[in-house]
Chains A and B, each alone.
Chain A
Amino acid sequence: GAGVSQSPSNKVTEKGKDVELRCDPISGHTALYWYRQSLGQGLEFLIYFQGNSAPDKSGLPSDRFSAERTGGSVSTLTIQRTQQEDSAVYLCASSQAGEAYNEQFFGPGTRLTVL
């Protein structure tokens, strides 16, 4: 595709339910990132995938959060037993390689609302 795509664009769920958020990176990009954007705060790093290396999970806020990347392409972020504080916009980004100087290309985000 032409850019990073994310689905769904909006997700409303009830407290305690599990949700899955999907990210399709730009074709050929080996690095993929997940961030969380809360109102009035910057982008909070969640997890980073680079090629076949073990992901950097240091930003995941709790063990309710997990992510996987199948075949080095599509990624799914899963939040189990959602809480109201999980409400935020979840952003996915990809870059050509996992180097600090590479530009990250962002998707439009998934707005998650936990009631």
Chain B
Amino acid sequence: AQSVTQLDSQVPVFEEAPVELRCNYSSSVSVYLFWYVQYPNQGLQLLLKYLSGSTLVKGINGFEAEFNKSQTSFHLRKPSVHISDTAEYFCAVSEQGTGGFKTIFGAGTRLFVKA
């Protein structure tokens, strides 16, 4: 069965430091990969997505992610974080099947940026 694993539930980091939030998935077919961000007291919004083509995807707010098919990973990175990046980040995987599709979300990683 398709599953998404976010290896870190919480990531504390100092402002202006780099950060990597890890995401691994299990799927035997082609998938579409997403990162969503949920700022405090707000709904989820799309950060970036991988559909096809270049494995390095750039998103909003300086974030990027790299799709690695052999390692079934889609890690999110930012070279220098800001206080305003404090939020919960969700990795999601969608795969198209004959009967429709399913989107599976990871458990989330809470990024806490300290001054």
Q: Which residues of A contact B (CB under 8 A)?
A: 3-4, 33, 35, 40-43, 45, 48, 50, 56, 91, 93, 98-101, 103-109
Chain B residue at minimal CB-CB distance from A95: B103
CB atoms of A91 and B44 under 8 A apart: yes
Q: Which residues of B contact A (CB under 8 A)?
A: 4, 6, 9, 31-32, 34, 36, 42-46, 49, 51, 90, 92, 94-96, 100-108
What would 23 A/B residue contacts be, using CB atoms closer than 8 Å? Answer: A3-B43, A40-B107, A42-B6, A42-B107, A42-B108, A43-B90, A43-B92, A43-B105, A45-B102, A91-B44, A98-B101, A99-B96, A100-B32, A100-B94, A100-B96, A100-B103, A101-B51, A101-B94, A101-B96, A103-B34, A104-B46, A105-B45, A106-B36
A42 CB, nearest partner CB in chain B, Å: 4
Chain B positions within 8 Å of A35 at CB level: 105
Chain A positions within 8 Å of B90 at CB level: 42-43
CB atoms of B101 and A106 under 8 A apart: no
B45 CB, nearest partner CB in chain A, Å: 7
Chain B positions within 8 Å of A50 at CB level: 100
